Amino acid sequence: MADTLLKLDGVATAYGQSQALWDIDLEVPAGSAVALIGRNGVGKTTLLKTIIGAQRLSGGRMTFQGRDVSALGPHQRARAGIGYVPQGRHIFPHLTVRENLETGLSALAGRAGGAGAMSKSAIGAGIPDHIFDLFPKLAQIINRKGGVLSGGEQQQLAIGRALAGQPRLLLLDEPTEGIQPSVVQQIEDALRRIRAELGVTVLIVEQYLDFAWSFADSYRVMQRGRIIRAGSTREETAAEVAHLVNI
């Protein structure tokens, strides 16, 4: 049995008086890729925000690498090794590609064996070389402002920024949304390498079931703030769960 990297037990959260997640149990084994699927508005983004600490737990507990992190804020969880690629990417439009990548380095502050242990790039001080190896395009556009990039370039930058913090767990919220098919394939290839070569565990929100099935080992379906179904993408087909996700 693989070690459990992330574990949620009975997690709940609310926006003010409005409860958004109920009784979430989730285990993400180290080295795995888990796809979180479900219709719009069911709580997928809210669950990722709860995992990164941007939303407070109103119930339950969360452990990361066996440590209870339920009470930690976003910066502490990032330092613990949780990386996040938000829905819509949230690139800083007035910062260059290099500066956007550098913002990701803050997750390394105070981390044992962190910044000093990695190979530094000649392109951007402190930005790991493997980011440019995964996304050569970023090296070519290193001085361009974030706001002028295409959707695909912004997505590569958002993933690169998260990787700059050397996460053990990478959360991605709809990385293929609004991106042309040729770039979707590049992103999938990069995510495979991030798993295989960097040993990063992945939890991905993905509406596009073919992508989720080809990339992830297991899936969870959300409905109205709960996980209502879980299974293996190897033992079941996407068609068997599509009715729970499609409108």
Ligand X SMILES: Nc1ncnc2c1ncn2[C@@H]1O[C@H](COP(=O)(O)OP(=O)(O)O)[C@@H](O)[C@H]1O
Q: Which is nearer to ligand X, 117 or 228 (CB)?
A: 228
Q: Which is nearer to Mg ion, 43 or 81 (CB)?
A: 43
Q: Which is nearer to Mg ion, 87 or 223 (CB)?
A: 87
- Out of 40, 119, 182, 246, the only residue in the binding site for ligand X (CB under 6 A) is 40
Closest approach, Cβ 38 to Mg ion, in A, equals 9
Give yes or no for residue 86 binding ligand X (CB under 6 A): no
- Out of 26, 35, 37, 44, the only residue in the binding site for ligand X (CB under 6 A) is 44
Q: Which is nearer to ligand X, 40 or 143 (CB)?
A: 40
Q: Which is nearer to ligand X, 24 or 142 (CB)?
A: 24
Nearest to 99 by CA among 53, 137, 147: 147
Torsion sign (Cα): 107, 113, 115, 121: negative
- Out of 6, 13, 37, 46, the only residue in the binding site for ligand X (CB under 6 A) is 46
Give yes or no for residue 42 binding ligand X (CB under 6 A): yes
Considering only 35-43, 90-98, 127-135, 230-238, which stretch makes contact with ligand X by CB under 6 A? 35-43
Torsion sign (Cα): 12, 107, 37, 200: negative
Give yes or no for residue 172 binding ligand X (CB under 6 A): no
Spell out, one character per residue from 1 to 20, where the chain touches ligand X: x when CB under 6 A holds, - when not. --------------x--x-x
Give yes or no for residue 178 binding ligand X (CB under 6 A): no
Neighbours of 103 (CB within 10 A): 14
Give yes or no for residue 156 binding ligand X (CB under 6 A): no
Residue 4 site contact among ligand X, Mg ion, none (CB < 5 to 8 Å, cut-off depends on kind): none
Interface residue list for Mg ion (CB under 5 A):
44-45, 87
Give yes or no for residue 89 binding ligand X (CB under 6 A): no
Helix axes 151-164, 181-198, angle to 10 degrees: 10
Give yes or no for residue 122 binding ligand X (CB under 6 A): no
Binding site for ligand X (CB under 6 A): 15, 18, 20, 38, 40-46
